[in-house]
Copies of this chain bind each other. A is one copy, B any other.
Amino acid sequence: MVKFRCLIPAFRTGWFARPTTVNHGHVSNSFLHDFLDEMQAENIKHHLRKFTRLPHLAGTQQNLDLAEQIRAEWMEFGLDSVELVPYDVLLSYPNQTNPNYISIVDHLGNEIFNTSLAEPVPEGYEDVTDIVPPYSAFSAKGQPEGELVYVNYGRTEDFFKLQRELGINCSGKILIARYGKIFRGNKVKNAMLAGAKGIVLFSDPADYCANGVEPYPDGWNLPGGGAQRGNVLNLNGAGDPLTPGYPAKEYTYRSGLEDAVGLPKIPVHPIGYHDAVHLLQHMGGPLPPDNWKGALNVSYRIGPGFMDGLNQNKVRMNIHTNNQVTRIYNVIGWIRGAVEPDRYVILGGHRDAWVFGGIDPVSGAAVVHESVRAAGKLMKKGWRPRRTLIFASWDAEEFGLLGSTEWAEDNARVLQERAVAYINADSAIEGMYTLRVDCTPSLHTLVYDITKKVSSPEEGEEGMTLYQSWHKRDNSTERDAPWISKLGSGSDFEAYFIRLGIASGRARYTKNRKTERYSSYPVYHSVYETYEIVERFYDPSFRRLEAVARVRGGLIYSLADSLVLPLDCVEYAMSLTKYANSIYQLALKHPAAMQQHSVSFDSLFSAVENFTVAAGDFHQRLDQLDTSNALDVRMVNDQLMYLERAFIDPLGLPGRPFYRHIIFAPSSHNKYAGESFPGIYDALFDIENAVDQQKAWDEVKRQISIAAFTVNAAAETLKPFVN
């Protein structure tokens, strides 16, 4: 039995010790309200319009021009300094003279059907050049030919079903998977593990069309000719594939492509549902399970091959995409903190888009732009935040979070010592229903506080706060407060949160997650992500974007200007308790093995209780803090700031050296999703099928031990400084 460091009286734990709001007493609230009010829908609309006229793909002249424009405007708005920070990273573009497509070939090798080379361009954009056709960035080159196998979403469980239940061997086949549910890079990884020669990704209407909505431009659904671009890397947080762990500067050593991190070894290509029908109809093999059937009007079969009589038709992929080291540019703007210039609060979001980026990312970038403008306006009125504010317009997010990760690598030392928080600003809207927030537990309380200061953007909710509107629409299952989720990945907070351990959060407007079952938003990463889709459908009044701007802005304002940092350790304790229970329940699915291998979670529960006591005590001491003593305030703020850092294990998670947060990591099976206690989770995953049970359960025990140690160590950081 593990020793408890102290006995825990029940009244000090959990909700009872919870402050009702975080102590950000000395933040000058008048300026906070000025700041929030200063951010206006009309301006955001204007920024969105301006930044979505042309494509601005990472590594192109247009995106450099946009960077220069943003730099100039941020300087004009009044930032203290703005710089362009370049890196030379591996990007990937289609071959301009040799297009990518998928064919059906007959037994003579004739291409009897080819997928389209581009999406039909939306009205008003016919004259735009440089629209990159749909492609899977970093796909291997090649022209593999083979029988087709349908793998549903290409998830781990889908492959388990194929291999273990249906007895279908994917080795040497070309796979076709529908988009959705998980990050596309995970689908490709699974395909490679299954030995496939290539994989085609398609958007099924079941996943990319909402009920009763027309395809764009008459509605906001994905047209049949639209397809989802996107990278298919498995970087696990490495950033530039050629320079893992180090910024991709001019002088930096680059590995050869054969040693690059995360590049797929097989061709990959995305298609729309009009093209997908041609590949899927007449497929052979067994019937799929019901829940594998999408909404295409074909009689789904799994394959391999086609029911074409002679059964000699095959699929050929024609992929000529090139990897290429290319210069990218982050725009970094600074407002020097008045009192603690060495404490950094960061608002960052990407600028690069697959095409116009009407939603992704410009709905977010427009919001950042408006925050910068509002901050500049306040500065002209004499305001200057207590701490330094950093605004970032990241490049090459779409190619694997490259701009943000390289900057994090470049500045790891100073960020480690000085960064208070990172707020992400990718797409500000993906639905029309309510707010969605993913953040570290210590930001929960601040998020609630800020949303109480923002008005609901919804018609008919005049006089209601955003908090009330959000609460009404999406109540947590655990308590009477709006639902907040864990951070996963798939956007630029990753290096800041998962690698460096900086408290992070993101907020956006979203769909109704309980009723709207489509994936992401229908036109995601297609040419139909225009200004007009936002202006006509998603947010005609631009009040939703305004609300998101005020949430993101309110967060950075409070974090930068509060005397005592508005971070809540008791919320972290409650989340840890929840996660510990949840992983324990997962392990309990193997009661016999648990007993046989003497697997105990006592040390983890004990650590979580230690943390809970330390957090409660910390906040009690905080209430008695002499806020007139600058050093005393600094010292507790340092404890608050470094709490998130304490969860970082320099050794990283098994096989994922750049995922170093012991509490949170992107799921190993879906980069988009966050997993809690990921080390234990991965050790338990599919453990019943592990060949060496002793070894597998030893690894579970080792991971429990690491988690327990880390939580205990984090608790220690909250205690008084001297034993």
User: Which residues of A does B touch, CB under 8 Å?
Assistant: 2-3, 80-81, 83, 245-247, 249-253, 255, 332, 334, 336-337, 339-342, 388, 410-414, 416-418, 602-603, 606, 630-631, 634-635, 638-639, 642, 645-646, 649-651, 657, 660, 698, 701-702, 704-706, 708-709, 713-714, 716-717, 720-723
Contact = CB atoms under 8 A, between A and B. Distances in A.
A722 B336 contact: yes
A74 to B, nearest CB: 13
A723 B646 CA distance: 28
16 contacts: A81-B722, A81-B723, A245-B651, A246-B705, A246-B709, A253-B702, A253-B705, A332-B723, A336-B721, A336-B722, A342-B639, A413-B713, A413-B716, A417-B645, A417-B717, A418-B721
A83 B723 CA distance: 8
A252 B247 CA distance: 35
Contact of A413 (B336, B413, B642): B642
Contact of A342 (B698, B709, B713, B721): B721
A413 B646 contact: yes
Contacts of A698: 253
A363 B179 CA distance: 70
B340 A251 contact: no
Nearest to A334: B722
A592 to B, nearest CB: 21
Nearest to A643: B413
Contacts of A603: 251
Given A253-B705, A631-B634, A413 B721 contact: no
A341 B639 CA distance: 12
A89 to B, nearest CB: 15
Nearest to A720: B341
A192 B221 CA distance: 67
Contacts of A634: 631, 634
Contacts of A245: 649-651
B334 A388 contact: no
B413 A341 contact: no
Given A411-B716, A651-B657, 13 more contacts: A2-B251, A81-B723, A251-B708, A332-B723, A336-B722, A337-B722, A410-B713, A413-B645, A413-B713, A417-B645, A417-B717, A630-B631, A634-B634
Contacts of A414: 716-717
B413 A714 contact: yes
Nearest to A650: B650
B704 A253 contact: yes
A125 to B, nearest CB: 37
Contact of A339 (B2, B340, B631, B650): B631
Given A635-B342, A642-B417, A709-B247, A721 B388 contact: yes
User: What 6 pairs across the A-B complex have the smallest Cβ distances?
Assistant: A253-B705, A251-B603, A253-B702, A336-B722, A341-B721, A342-B721
A650 B650 CA distance: 6
A713 B408 CA distance: 12
A695 to B, nearest CB: 10
Contacts of A650: 245, 412, 650, 660
A638 B340 CA distance: 12
Given A631-B340, A705-B253, A716-B413, A722 B388 contact: yes
B706 A246 contact: yes
A252 B600 CA distance: 12
A69 to B, nearest CB: 20
A250 B3 contact: yes
Question: Which of A253, A339, A418, A646 has the largest number of chain B CB atoms within 10 A?
Answer: A253
Contacts of A630: 630-631
A357 to B, nearest CB: 27
A468 to B, nearest CB: 39
Nearest to A249: B709
B701 A253 contact: yes
Contacts of A341: 635, 720-722
A638 B342 contact: yes
Nearest to A698: B253
A80 B722 contact: yes
Contacts of A332: 723
A268 to B, nearest CB: 29
Nearest to A703: B253
Contacts of A388: 721-722
A378 B323 CA distance: 67
